[in-house]
Chain A
Amino acid sequence: MKGMEMRGGRKRSIRLSNVYSFSCFRSSSGGNHSQIGQKGYSRVVYCNEPDHPDAKRLNYKGNYVSTTKYTALNFIPKALFEQFRRVANLYFLVVACVSFSPLAPYTAISIVVPLVVVIGATMGKEAVEDWRRKKQDIEANNRMVKVYGGDQTFHDTKWKKLRVGDLVKVEKDEYFPADLVLLSSCYDDGICYVETTNLDGETNLKVKQPLEATYSMHDENSFQQFKALIKCEDPNENLYSFIGTLYHGDTPYPLSPQQLLLRDSKLRNTDFVYGVVVYTGHDTKVMQNAVDLLPRGAELRGKWIRYKDIRGGMLVRWYLRPDATTVFFDPRRPYLAAFCHFLTALMLYGYLIPISLYVSIEIVKVLQSIFINQDPNMYYEETDRPARARTSNLNEELGQVYTILSDKTGTLTSNSMEFVKCTIAGTAYGHGVTEVESAMARRRNGGSLEIEDQLSNLTGDKGDGVDLTKSIKGFNFLDERIMNGNWVKEPHSDVIRLFFFILATCHTVIPEVDKESGDIHYEAESPDEAAFVVAAREIAFEFYERTQSSISLNELDPETGAKIGRQYQLLNVLEFSSSRKRMSVIVRNEEGQLLLLCKGADSVMFERLSEHGRIFEDETKDHIKKYAEEGLRTLVVAYRELGEEEYNTWQEEFVNAKISVTADRDSLVDAVADKIESDFILLGATAIEDKLQEGVPECINNLALAGIRIWVLTGDKLETAINIGESVMKQIEAGKSQVVSAKASSVESALIIDGKSLTYALDGDMEKMFLELANDCASVICCRSSPKQKALVTRLVKAGTGKTTLAIGDGANDVGMLQEADIGVGISGVEGMQAVMASDFAIAQFRFLERLLLVHGHWCYRRISMMICYFFYKNMTFGFTLFWFEAHASFSGQPAYNDWYMSFYNVFFTSLPVIALGVFDQDVSARLCLKYPQLHQEGTHNILFSWRRILGWMLNGVSSSIIIFYFVTTSTFPQSFREDGRVAAYEALGVAMYTSVVWTVNCQMAVSINYFTWIQHVFIWGSIVLWYLFLLIYGSLPPLLSTTAYKVLVEACAPSPLYWFSTLLAVISTLLPYFSYKALQISFFPMYHDMINRMQLEASAASHSSVSATARVEDRIRQLKDRLWHHSEP
């Protein structure tokens, strides 16, 4: 069967290179071949002789690939090292070590257990992640490929056994195992098609062409004598360049990227190819492009580590004073004593920097991730994929995102071009509503229901016709005047016919006929060409076969309605290029008429029209303008008839130009082509929609409203990039114009830069300037950028703005970018999983980003920052009561509380409410988060975790501790504290203070959170109850276990009214400052979420009172919303 196919393939024997008459196949002679053999160009490959003695001497690495961070041997030391590279872990390690010495003011176990748990959990996570990578590596390394062996046949070999110089045979739809130089293929001229989705995200096929010296080798036997030497550049990460020379016999042939088949790209449409391995394993371009895994430190964490350093400094200053400590231990060795004392203090005040913060944050983040994973609003039905938070430690950064760097293909767009409209002979056809249009319409009308209805009416009976229209990829055209053969009744039916005829012939698409069903599938270099061919097929011309010199169509006969097969002689193809911006073909029809058919950008086409060809010019221009506004890509379609003589003269010139060997051959060919491409007769224009993914315009609009800046980095061509950029930009502009009408003076502009320019822009000094320029632009589009460049741009933006950047992409080409950014979001689409594997969050559709950032991001940011602030607060409150007591115990290191009170403080009595805060608290509901995207700016400006706020909370903690300590001690000492005349001693003070602390921090929590469910109630009040229960139970244990807590509650404290009254006093007094501050702040300096809550409250209150008032309030809210953005300062 296989053999049959192969033979079939060869029988076709199409010299496809004839179709691509020039540009496509010219070897890029830009490379500097003279450098071969010098520094940076030293690689030597002995083709088909991997065992050549010289090759062995060179000893290039094999094709074994390892992407793991650790090996089984070095895992423990390396992972431990990684862990203790974190300052915090190291600090806890020191504390844990010291806690085993008699210096410890409390038991060692309470420090060691959490440390072991934390480190163990993180290392476990690392191990699992690395194991996954390992499994992938194993899978890839053991894949099979056919390698030419000494016995003159190809046999299966594992990928990892591949060596440089091996001759391999890769079959259809297989991945290339290494970077290969193409020798020949199943086609006679040796070309092959590759899909580079994994490298640049584009799904279209690229043509590769072998050297003349090798393309004729089809026979397995012919390889027996094949010996060649390749000298080429050293491994590098540049995907689009390759310089080398192949010496076959003694003749040198220049090698270019045209001959290079990259690892991880896929062979398509070609039964098999033969190639020589030049780069293996980590030397391959794609591996060179992989960016090393960098440890990701969340910003918040960074901050609290700094906070810890400050605290550490304070400890040192307090305690490294020998004079204060000579009373301690051995007075003859004051410095040693001082040091010992310092260590004691270090542990005692470990409560200011508790390891439990670590643990709690980890727990909270994991729970938050579960909520993200469980959100059905981010579940994509079609691919059955929910959102996945793959790392949990970046949740809060989602709420701080300032810049989004987005891939285009597959991320913003669904990578399908759809033929939606056209204008023919001055008449516009097509009712399809584009996404951009509908989004704009929706916004204009405030998303009211009627409009939606109208829209759905407008889109025709799209609902019913879904099966009909959707089944045809690339075709979303609806117009009863043209469809179903009705076009013949239109006034200019001949023009219409010609128009679609051009669409069916003027392209470089290759048809693939499914032998069983007879369906035709089109393989096109760019998806819009496929869309044209599909459109032509749907109307009248079914393109089904291409040979080197002909194009065959099934035409709909206007009179009979029957299909007639016709063949057209294809004389020349004048390829599309970015400078020409047009493409032409010259065909001879069955009547012998010579036609020059052309499609191109309006900028170049209108000037090439002949005098009598401008009949429809004005209408067409109008329509094109309208289409462009709708975000459609337009091409002008025109033709002209050629005289036999004119053609012959031109043809001669053209051939001469093509075979010329001067350096400016390209421009020569262009000039000749230019000559004939004039005096066109205008037919009309097409409008293609580069289909944005569902919901992308609204999503981008809301993200723009949220103040997020969007950069688009794409591997696409400039034109494509600009086009999609325009449609995206429209959204942003539209959004912005709402927002900053006051500052309309600042013109919204977009910066568009291509890969080559980017190379310079990213170089040295330019970098800063580039960033400055980019910062002034509303959005930035970088096109033709390599994966590495994407990563570099990401790094630049990250470093330059100093704010959180998020990268979103879907392909292997985005991996570097995703890893470089603070947050990488992978689209788990159909393009494989590499992006997802490298990402921190995986979502199925771009539009889910909105919910991820604005809802989950906002909540997580708010929760984590509140949580950390509160954690500081509660441990300051606790720690400083210890400190004040210390001050009254001659700084001897005596804790005010029983060991176990201290150990359990962060475990039982205060931990659960904090975790509840970190997991459940929400200032505003999800609906409102989406309704007021501006709320996101609380995160980008980081106002909830500013130093002021942290210090404020810490100050609150210190003042609480002062109030608690002094109120409790002054009211309880030194007089008797009960009616029976007994006085409170050390243990009673501990209990009284501790009770106040537990009440205070839990009530503080109750005052500061915004959201009470039964969970919060249970946790907060439960923690307080638990403290009393604990005291009861612990106090009833034998005194040797309970020591100072023995019966302290039952016997000493509970019967004393003073104990209860001093608690009440301390608790209310500590809450007063914060409560007053918050009341003032909400009333007079409300934050954004306060206002939203307030507006909601007013609205609901009003809706209760009367129905008519509801409308008024809504109106009011809308007014407020508008005013919000115009007001500047109180």
Chain B
Amino acid sequence: MSSNAAASSSGGAGSADSAAPRRNSKRPKYSRFTQQELPACKPILTPQWVISAFILVSVIFIPIGVASLLASRDVVEIVDRYETECIPEPLRGDKVGFIQSAANKTCERKITVPKRMKSPIYVYYQLDNFYQNHRRYVKSRSDAQLKSPKEENETKPCDPEGTSGGKPIVPCGLIAWSLFNDTYSFSRNNQQLVVNKKDISWKSDRDGKFGKKVFPKNFQKGGLIGGGILDESIPLNEQEDLIVWMRTAALPTFRKLYGRIEVDLQPNDIIHITLKNNYNTYSFGGKKKLVLSTTSWLGGKNDFLGIAYLTVGGLCLFLALSFTIIYLVKPRKLGDPSYLSWNKNPAGH
């Protein structure tokens, strides 16, 4: 309410201004920018444009779909779920009791190769219903400690697995604590198949995140043992199983690389697997699967991408066709004003 007080003062100013010679005119300077008249393209969705766009998408998508579907079909994948069957029949009533006991947990599995699998054949373990992406879990690690021996005491984010008996745990935290510790060994015709466990982790992790001079310390020495134990003589950056495990999964169902079999497998080869069923997924009803898979240029076996590409491509083709038909059957001027709707109700609502 600047209302009045100012009244008088500025009253004269206005007229004085206008009378004053216009040395510095306040006329806005013209430029295409300030006038909002920059050269512009104004795309208008004419039928031709719409139809061409749809056709373009389908022309690109359908070939991609076919290619990815072929790639996925190329991949041979063997999945063996074992968490129930690797518990002796009579003990299946109390799986948790069994897994927490000191009993022998070795388990023999047998799988048949359906198709020729070219080397390298990747070995994965797959856990279901394991929330490696839970916030508390994800945060429960100490990157500083993993990287440098000097930061050994940096266990704050790791609670409640930070210290044991007053001494810091290396590597600390829930992730490391829950390290997966089932082991697999494969044989074909009584001949051991070597599983190469080198280079299963990301190089960046080995070089950047896990220290060369950091050795496991005080690990799994507490009351409650979560998972695997580590060889205290090997530095962390060579503990590839741990490194793989520490790169937390995105979803509760996940696979992690266990190793590579670097020989070709022939159809109908029978593979004997000796596995140690150590890991407790029974407490939370998680599943465990062993996966052997080859890869294509697109990765593992997954038809979804190809199907999705084909579907979207097909849909676009269909839309292009229907738009064409509509325009052919019912040509309509876009400028037809008969669709203007508000003059029927000028008063508004």
From B84-92, B104-112, B179-187, B254-262, give the one contacting chain A. Answer: B254-262
Q: Is B115 part of the contact surface with A, judged by Cβ < 8 Å? A: no
A1085-1110 residues with Cβ-Cβ distance < 8 A to B are: 1085-1086, 1088, 1090-1091, 1093-1095, 1097-1098
Nearest chain B CB to A969 CB, angstrom units: 6
Nearest chain B CB to A331 CB, angstrom units: 12
A989-1031 residues with Cβ-Cβ distance < 8 A to B are: 989-990, 1010-1015
Q: Establish whether residues A819 and B343, one from each chain, have CB atoms under 8 Å apart when the complex forms.
A: no
Closest residue of A by beta carbon distance from B148: A1040
Q: Establish whether residues B8 and A140, one from each chain, have CB atoms under 8 Å apart when the complex forms.
A: yes
Q: Is B117 part of the contact surface with A, judged by Cβ < 8 Å? A: no
Q: Is B217 part of the contact surface with A, judged by Cβ < 8 Å? A: no
Nearest chain B CB to A794 CB, angstrom units: 15
- Scoring A1039, A1062, A1098 by chain B CB atoms within 10 A of each residue's CB, the highest score goes to A1039
Tell me the complex Cα distance, A364–B121, Å: 57
Q: Establish whether residues B250 and A803, one from each chain, have CB atoms under 8 Å apart when the complex forms.
A: no
Tell me the complex Cα distance, A894–B134, Å: 6
Q: Establish whether residues A941 and B18, one from each chain, have CB atoms under 8 Å apart when the complex forms.
A: no
Tell me the complex Cα distance, A1057–B132, Å: 26
Known A67-B5, A888-B133, A975-B300: A983·B255 in contact at CB below 8 Å: yes
- Scoring B2, B15, B256 by chain A CB atoms within 10 A of each residue's CB, the highest score goes to B2
Closest residue of A by beta carbon distance from B61: A1068
Q: Establish whether residues A812 and B335, one from each chain, have CB atoms under 8 Å apart when the complex forms.
A: no
B277 surroundings in chain A (CB, below 8 A):
none
Q: Is A149 part of the contact surface with B, judged by Cβ < 8 Å? A: no
Q: Is A473 part of the contact surface with B, judged by Cβ < 8 Å? A: no
B298 surroundings in chain A (CB, below 8 A):
979, 1057-1058, 1061
- Scoring B296, B299, B336 by chain A CB atoms within 10 A of each residue's CB, the highest score goes to B299
Known A67-B1, A383-B17, A384-B17: A803·B348 in contact at CB below 8 Å: yes
Q: Is B82 part of the contact surface with A, judged by Cβ < 8 Å? A: no
The listed residue (B35, B297, B344) touching A375 by CB distance below 8 A is B35
Q: Establish whether residues A1084 and B332, one from each chain, have CB atoms under 8 Å apart when the complex forms.
A: yes
Q: Establish whether residues B337 and A1010, one from each chain, have CB atoms under 8 Å apart when the complex forms.
A: no
A140 surroundings in chain B (CB, below 8 A):
4-9
Q: Establish whether residues B68 and A1061, one from each chain, have CB atoms under 8 Å apart when the complex forms.
A: yes
B316 surroundings in chain A (CB, below 8 A):
1072
The listed residue (B1, B257, B346) touching A983 by CB distance below 8 A is B257
B326-349 residues with Cβ-Cβ distance < 8 A to A are: 326, 332-344, 346, 348-349
Q: Is B101 part of the contact surface with A, judged by Cβ < 8 Å? A: no
0/1 per residue, A233-272, Cβ < 8 Å to B?
0000000000000000000000000000001101000000
Nearest chain B CB to A719 CB, angstrom units: 28
Q: Establish whether residues A941 and B1, one from each chain, have CB atoms under 8 Å apart when the complex forms.
A: no
B301 surroundings in chain A (CB, below 8 A):
975
Q: Is B103 part of the contact surface with A, judged by Cβ < 8 Å? A: no
B75 surroundings in chain A (CB, below 8 A):
975
Q: Is B93 part of the contact surface with A, judged by Cβ < 8 Å? A: no
Q: Is A74 part of the contact surface with B, judged by Cβ < 8 Å? A: no
Q: Is A464 part of the contact surface with B, judged by Cβ < 8 Å? A: no
Q: Establish whether residues A1079 and B45, one from each chain, have CB atoms under 8 Å apart when the complex forms.
A: yes
- Scoring A740, A974, A1039, A1040 by chain B CB atoms within 10 A of each residue's CB, the highest score goes to A974
Q: Establish whether residues A1057 and B297, one from each chain, have CB atoms under 8 Å apart when the complex forms.
A: yes
Known A136-B5, A386-B26, A1046-B204: A832·B14 in contact at CB below 8 Å: yes
Q: Establish whether residues A136 and B295, one from each chain, have CB atoms under 8 Å apart when the complex forms.
A: no
The listed residue (A977, A1013, A1084, A1094) touching B335 by CB distance below 8 A is A1094
B159-173 residues with Cβ-Cβ distance < 8 A to A are: none
A119-175 residues with Cβ-Cβ distance < 8 A to B are: 132-133, 136-137, 139-141, 143, 175
Nearest chain A CB to B77 CB, angstrom units: 7
Tell me the complex Cα distance, A384–B18, Å: 7
Tell me the complex Cα distance, A889–B26, Å: 61
The listed residue (B1, B64, B260, B335) touching A1120 by CB distance below 8 A is B335
Q: Is A187 part of the contact surface with B, judged by Cβ < 8 Å? A: no
Tell me the complex Cα distance, A1123–B340, Å: 10
A1031-1053 residues with Cβ-Cβ distance < 8 A to B are: 1038-1040, 1043, 1046-1047, 1051-1052
Q: Establish whether residues B202 and A982, one from each chain, have CB atoms under 8 Å apart when the complex forms.
A: yes
The listed residue (A137, A1015, A1068, A1091) touching B312 by CB distance below 8 A is A1068
Q: Establish whether residues B255 and A287, one from each chain, have CB atoms under 8 Å apart when the complex forms.
A: no
The listed residue (A139, A328, A1088) touching B340 by CB distance below 8 A is A1088
- Scoring B5, B47, B209 by chain A CB atoms within 10 A of each residue's CB, the highest score goes to B5
B1-53 residues with Cβ-Cβ distance < 8 A to A are: 1-11, 13-15, 17-18, 22, 25-30, 34-47, 50, 53
A990 surroundings in chain B (CB, below 8 A):
250
A767-793 residues with Cβ-Cβ distance < 8 A to B are: none
Tell me the complex Cα distance, A1057–B315, Å: 23
Q: Establish whether residues B41 and A812, one from each chain, have CB atoms under 8 Å apart when the complex forms.
A: no
Tell me the complex Cα distance, A740–B46, Å: 31
Known A292-B1, A976-B300, A1012-B42: A371·B34 in contact at CB below 8 Å: yes
From B218-226, B230-238, B264-272, B302-310, give the one contacting chain A. Answer: B302-310
A1127 surroundings in chain B (CB, below 8 A):
337-338, 340, 343
- Scoring B4, B209, B323 by chain A CB atoms within 10 A of each residue's CB, the highest score goes to B4
Q: Is B249 part of the contact surface with A, judged by Cβ < 8 Å? A: yes
Q: Is B247 part of the contact surface with A, judged by Cβ < 8 Å? A: yes
Q: Is A890 part of the contact surface with B, judged by Cβ < 8 Å? A: yes
Q: Is B239 part of the contact surface with A, judged by Cβ < 8 Å? A: no
Q: Is A731 part of the contact surface with B, judged by Cβ < 8 Å? A: no
Known A384-B18, A1065-B312: A1128·B343 in contact at CB below 8 Å: yes
Nearest chain A CB to B206 CB, angstrom units: 11
Q: Is A358 part of the contact surface with B, judged by Cβ < 8 Å? A: no
0/1 per residue, B102-143, Cβ < 8 Å to A?
000000000000000000101010100001111111100001
Known A815-B1, A1069-B308, A1094-B335: A1061·B64 in contact at CB below 8 Å: yes
Tell me the complex Cα distance, A1010–B132, Å: 45
Q: Is A185 part of the contact surface with B, judged by Cβ < 8 Å? A: no
Tell me the complex Cα distance, A984–B133, Å: 13
The listed residue (A373, A384, A888, A1124) touching B343 by CB distance below 8 A is A1124
Closest residue of B by beta carbon distance from A896: B250
Tell me the complex Cα distance, A247–B207, Å: 102
Known A292-B1, A976-B122, A1084-B339: A1012·B257 in contact at CB below 8 Å: no
Nearest chain B CB to A233 CB, angstrom units: 20
- Scoring B29, B308, B319 by chain A CB atoms within 10 A of each residue's CB, the highest score goes to B308
Q: Is B195 part of the contact surface with A, judged by Cβ < 8 Å? A: no
Nearest chain A CB to B140 CB, angstrom units: 12
A101 surroundings in chain B (CB, below 8 A):
none
Tell me the complex Cα distance, A582–B76, Å: 108
B285 surroundings in chain A (CB, below 8 A):
none
Q: Is B97 part of the contact surface with A, judged by Cβ < 8 Å? A: no
Q: Establish whether residues A1129 and B304, one from each chain, have CB atoms under 8 Å apart when the complex forms.
A: no
Q: Establish whether residues A382 and B18, one from each chain, have CB atoms under 8 Å apart when the complex forms.
A: yes
- Scoring A819, A888, A940, A1062 by chain B CB atoms within 10 A of each residue's CB, the highest score goes to A888
Q: Is A385 part of the contact surface with B, judged by Cβ < 8 Å? A: yes
Q: Is A834 part of the contact surface with B, judged by Cβ < 8 Å? A: yes
Q: Establish whether residues A1094 and B208, one from each chain, have CB atoms under 8 Å apart when the complex forms.
A: no
Q: Establish whether residues A812 and B4, one from each chain, have CB atoms under 8 Å apart when the complex forms.
A: yes
Q: Measuring CB to CB, which residues of chain A are less than 8 angstroms from any residue of chain B?
A: 65, 67, 105, 132-133, 136-137, 139-141, 143, 175, 197-198, 263-264, 266, 284, 286-287, 289-293, 328, 370-371, 373-376, 379, 381-386, 402, 707, 740, 803, 812, 815-816, 819, 828-834, 837-838, 859, 885, 888-890, 892-894, 896, 920, 922, 925-926, 937, 940-941, 943, 967, 969-971, 973-990, 1010-1015, 1038-1040, 1043, 1046-1047, 1051-1052, 1056-1058, 1061-1062, 1064-1065, 1068-1069, 1072, 1075-1076, 1078-1079, 1082-1086, 1088, 1090-1091, 1093-1095, 1097-1098, 1120-1121, 1123-1125, 1127-1130
A-B interface, 10 closest residue pairs, ranked by CB to CB distance from nearest: A975-B300, A136-B6, A140-B5, A981-B122, A832-B11, A989-B250, A833-B10, A1094-B334, A894-B135, A892-B135
- 5 sample A-B contacts, Cβ–Cβ < 8 Å, listed by A number: A143-B8, A287-B4, A971-B302, A973-B250, A1083-B326
